Amino acid sequence: MTASGARLLEGGAIAEEIRTAVAEDVSTFSATRGRAPGLRVVIVGRDAPSTVYLERILRGCAKVGIDAGFVELEGEATEALVTDALRALNADATVDGVIVQMPLPPTIRLRAVVDAIDPAKDIDGIHPLNAGLLRLGYDGFLPATAHAAVEILRRSGIEIEGRDAVVIGRSAVVGMPAAFLLVREDATVTVCHSRTRDLAGHVRRAEIVVVAAGVPGLVTGAMLRPGAVVVDVGINLVDGRIVGDVDFESARAVASAITPVPGGVGPLTNALLLTHLIRAAERQWPLQSPVAVPAIDRP
């Protein structure tokens, strides 16, 4: 920690390294398969924070040569309309990966949407097959934001093994996957949520704090153990600004390292999604052997 506060764990430089490698893989795929890898993002209505995030993904795709675009449905779209759109994308041979905007409108069940996605195209790891592979420690598609929350620690040289970690948030797409990934890295993990008693007490004991609750300013510096590492996954629109779930200024004065919002986990999430997409494309469309056509390798 410096006199000006905690070390900033910024995702931009790491993301640029990843995009450079992905661009080479995309070029090879396009040259050998005769088309660019394809990504489609399904949007049901326009939620401001998530739309900002998704538009950044599309810009990242354009930089590396991926064919990416939105499939936009009106906010009043029925569950059947959304699942029909997903099944059409499953059947589209030019689409290798599919992402669904979260959160969904309350009239649409997450389970119905999740079940409709082909696991081979589920590059954000929300299908039960990919979630199960993660839980068992096998090789499936990881939820990209949870992946980024742990990867930014690894790539920044933050020790994880043996440390006490708290994850705030138990969602199936961020909080719980992040907890499983931290356990995989040999951390001792406590998952906190809206029903947790004495949240501040749990946070105070943690050496690593991952906050993914969707509540602006939920974690303050007064709650942190001195020298803790803080990963802020939150993305909230407050008075026209994107802010995280951590009160940044007070937390930075106490932590040893912290991710800013924006500029921390977000850029890395976008870059990791590109790695997931090229892996999905290569698995679905392997190069044909002169002797036989290889079977499609499902994650």
For the residues of 25-63, what is the DSSP string, one character each? HHHHHHHHHSS--EEEEEEES--HHHHHHHHHHHHHHHH
pLDDT for the residue 201: 98
SS (H, E, C) 59-75: HHHHHHCCEEEEEEECC
Give the domain ranges of the chain. 143-266
pLDDT for the residue 5: 81
CB 133 within 8 A of CB 139: yes
Instruction: Decide: residue 257, CB within 10 A, 0-12 exposed, 13-18 middle, 19+ buried.
Output: buried
229 - beta bridge partners? 208, 257
Q: Does domain 143-266 have CATH number 3.30.2130.10?
A: no
Question: pLDDT of 159-168, one tens digit each?
Answer: 999 999 999 9
243 - beta bridge partners? 236
DSSP string, 186-241: T-EEEEE-TT-S-HHHHHHH-SEEEE-SS-TT-B-GGGSPTT-EEEE---EEETTE
The pTM of this model reads 0.89
Question: pLDDT of 30-62, one tens digit each?
Answer: 999 999 999 999 998 776 556 777 888 999 999
Instruction: List, run by run, the mean pLDDT of 10-residue segments along the chain (299 residues).
Output: 76 96 97 96 76 84 96 88 96 96 87 96 95 91 96 98 98 95 97 96 98 96 98 92 95 98 94 97 74 43
pLDDT for the residue 48: 55
pLDDT for the residue 3: 45
